A and B are shown apart, each in its own frame.
Chain A
Amino acid sequence: MEGGVFSEVRIVGWGGTDQSIVEELINKFVVPELADKGITAVYEPIVDDFQKNLINSLSAGTAGDLFYMDIFWAEYIIKAGQVEPLDNYLAKSEVLNKDDIIPSLLDAFTFEGKVYGIPKDFNSLALVYNKDLFDIAYIQYPNENDTWDDLENKLAKVVEAFDGEVTGLALAPEFARFGAFAYAAGWEPFVDGKTNLMDPAFKEAFNWYTGLKEKGLGVMPADIGQGWGGGALTTEKVAAALEGAWILGFLRDNAPNLKYGATLLPKNPGTGQPGNFIYTVAWGINANSKNKDAAFKVMEALTSPAAQQWILERGLAIPSRKALADNPYFEKDTPEAQANKIVFLGASAGNVKPFKFKEYGGKWMEPRNN
């Protein structure tokens, strides 16, 4: 740029499909918007363990100006003072307003009253089921009014109709799936800073979840040669799986003809509520960056309604802006759009908690998974 101040904002995020998406966003929304202000952006994907890499580069002083912050470990780096609080910027901004963002998402990145990250998108769990199996067995599809018992009955009938050729639910043996049921039963992961696994609610959920396996209504994906619920679903050996919107791209490639539907997770019969996780990733600004103002401008462009609309229309992610909840995309008649809608709704139905465990991150889950 002649004359103007030229600043290049380094954006750091995941590799893979995310790279394509962000680079496309930069070309489509950041560059046209900010070129005359002398701001450009470049995306630097981290192909390895993102969290470790980010923490290393933050301590080495080589981290980017703008980076992904997964809700899962955001608190850790925020507490370390590495993330710039955004309140001052937001107050001045004409494009980005706190009230535009879905509150529960924003809360997840708010600490001690300050906002540290603007959520870029989010995900939650849905019950994704194979319609064919239910059709052939003449069983009603699972729906959002089902309780655990209803779902169990339906699964049992499907299993019976196929003489055990298929099992009911793909049960991933991890907290990231099972936890949603514990929350549904009313379990709180932290009470006075401590975790109580002997809580009756936790026990109830645990017994139901593992009980499915014992009753032959569930199977671990690994037992049918698959790594996760989505893979299990493509084998048509399970009637349903618990996954988020990330399953959709996989089904496009690996089971283009699968007739699937999605619905909210079943309700706990006692509390009458479903449970769920919110998985979300936000944009954070490096507290030691020299380009903070430019970085914020880029952040504005990346989270603009136009950018989020573009992402939503491609079914790539579910946007964090409230206004997009009424987007016509969600009313489309394709299984993908409907599954996305369920994931969108899942984040506000019942006992929903962000997928984070204070500053403990993944360490908190380890003993529960093993």
Chain B
Amino acid sequence: MKIQQNHTSDINLKIKRRRWTNVGAIYLILLLFSVLFMGTFLFGALSSLKDDPSSWPPTLKTEQLSPKNWIGAYILARQGGGGGFFGELKSGHEVSFQVTYKYPMGIKIVPPQVIVPKRFKGSGRAALELDREFVADFVKIIPVEEIGRISVRDGNQVSYKIDIINPSQKDFDELPLDLLVPYKVDFLSATLSPNRIERLGRVQSWNNLVSGVIPYIFHNHFRVFNENYSRTTGRRLFTTWIFNSFFISIIKVLTTLMFASMAGYALARLKFYGKNYLFVLILFSMMIPGQVTFISNYLVLRDGIFGLTKLFGGGSLLNTFTGLIISGLVGASAVFIMKQFFEGLPKEMEESARIDGASTYQIFSKIMLPLAKPALGALTILTFQGVWNEFFWPLVIITSPMDKFTLTIGLLSFKDTYASGTFDWGPILAGAIISALPIIILFIVFQRYFVEGASFSGIKG
């Protein structure tokens, strides 16, 4: 009796153990996946906030995420006369700033030299602007005042107060600052952490003291929006690109939903001559790799669909949104998904509607479409995601001006702006992160539909 009991508890223990090892293994795999996919994204997002995104060795420490700096940025921006979140340096305002250094023994304690520099931009459109007004020409620096000195073990810890006044009538949106101290003097802290420390610790350099909290944290993201604007319209290119991508995605989603549901319904329910051939043809078009039809599609667009566009006063469809949209009104796979879904719905509903006197069109629009909501939802998301991320085709079709780019191509142009020979990763990362956000939000909100969409397309053929 007792032996048997031991035996069962042994087995139970074994089963438990096995179960837990299984659970452990699954969690481990999930963890690895999430680290692999989300980890890289999150690290990218984090790096896009940093002053030096490629800092080596890689670190999670980000000045832009420290609450102390948020407070500092808020206070300075308020002093500048702007709002704490979006700041500026208004006429007649004074910015007061504290900084602490450690002077080692043997180095004479002299206050830091304060410089409001004129900074020229090195890349993008802004690089051409030599004639703009520099805040450096208008502000007045009040002599540095020592406000505290503590003697520490091997030197002195000295704090200074730095005041900068804007006595002019003008408002400025930035106030860069450089502080110069002797070699070997250690920078300890400041109201706002410097954006970079240069010249072996001798120079602490700030891009903008009065940026306000939000531009301080998201400085690379702001660069993406601010440094790229259209030569022709003056609009911000990045905003235009986001709008273009949304516009094209939404139009294509609408056309896909419309044509896929109509074609899917016709193929699933209506009886007409050549239906099966048509279906085979649609399936066939799914099987041809895009690369095969790419050149002919391109030529068709170039000639304006065999010259048809001339009827409407148009010419070539290259470099137009029309061309981009027309060449992707609906995909064969979307038709396929809808056909499969409609076939899965019970015929009896349709028959009873028919008996009640509904026409085919009424059955389609009043009965079948509402029933197909889950499939339409899945299709919406899949199409949206597909079009949003579409890269190759827009790259070929859309060439200029930059106002016409979609977000994916715009991001590619950053490679030229920020990384042609030089590698300024901040804005590139920031742009990539911004462009990924809609899809990530879409995915998180509609996870369920994504999975359903995947299972629809996998239903028996």
Contact = CB atoms under 8 A, between A and B. Distances in A.
Contacts of B402: 15, 19, 45
B412 A16 contact: no
Contact of A226 (B54, B122, B401, B412): B54
Given A15-B413, A19-B402, A228 B422 contact: yes
A20 B125 contact: yes
A253 B220 CA distance: 12
20 contacts: A16-B420, A17-B124, A17-B417, A20-B127, A45-B400, A46-B399, A47-B415, A48-B395, A132-B200, A136-B200, A226-B56, A230-B421, A231-B423, A244-B421, A249-B122, A250-B421, A253-B122, A253-B123, A255-B198, A256-B205
A257 B417 contact: no
Interface string A210-251: 000000000000001111101100011000000010111111
Contacts of A227: 54, 423
Contact of A249 (B57, B130, B298, B422): B422
Contacts of B54: 225-227, 231
Contacts of B56: 224-226, 235
Interface residues of A, number: 49
Contact of B199 (A16, A45, A250, A259): A259
A86 B418 CA distance: 34
A316 B122 CA distance: 9
A254 B421 CA distance: 14
A21 interface: yes
A258 B198 contact: yes
Nearest to A254: B424
Interface in A319-342: none
A313 B117 CA distance: 20
A62 B231 contact: no
A33 interface: no
Interface string B196-223: 1011101101000000000000000000
A253 B52 CA distance: 11
Nearest to A311: B128
B198 A250 contact: no
Contact of A48 (B125, B203, B412): B412
Contacts of A62: 302, 318
A16 B119 contact: no
Interface centre among B57, B125, B414 (most CB of A within 10 A): B125
Given A136-B200, A255-B198, 9 more contacts: A14-B420, A45-B402, A45-B413, A47-B415, A60-B299, A225-B58, A249-B123, A258-B199, A314-B127
A254 B195 CA distance: 10
A252 B120 contact: yes
Given A23-B231, A226-B423, A258-B198, A248 B123 contact: no
Contacts, number: 141
B413 A250 contact: no
Given A20-B128, A23-B231, A224-B56, A256 B117 contact: yes
Interface residues of B, number: 49
Interface string B213-257: 000000000000000000100000000000000000000000000
B141 to A, nearest CB: 17
Contacts of B119: 252, 256
Nearest to A230: B422
A350 to B, nearest CB: 23
A236 B198 contact: yes
A225 B57 contact: yes
B178 A45 contact: no
A141 interface: no
A8 interface: no
Contact of A255 (B125, B196, B415): B196
B130 A47 contact: no
B55 interface: yes
A227 B422 CA distance: 8
B423 A14 contact: no
A15 B416 contact: yes
Interface in A236-285: 236, 244, 246-259
A173 B415 CA distance: 22
A252 B123 CA distance: 9
A42 interface: yes
Contacts of B415: 16, 47
Contact of B422 (A24, A136, A247): A247
B432 interface: no
A174 interface: no
B7 interface: no
A17 B199 contact: no
B33 interface: no
Interface string A183-224: 000000000000000000000000000000000000000001
A160 interface: no
Interface in A34-74: 42-48, 60, 62
Given A43-B400, A136-B183, A247-B422, A20 B416 contact: no
B121 interface: yes
Interface string A10-31: 0000111111110110000000
Contact of B123 (A17, A45, A48): A17
B46 interface: no
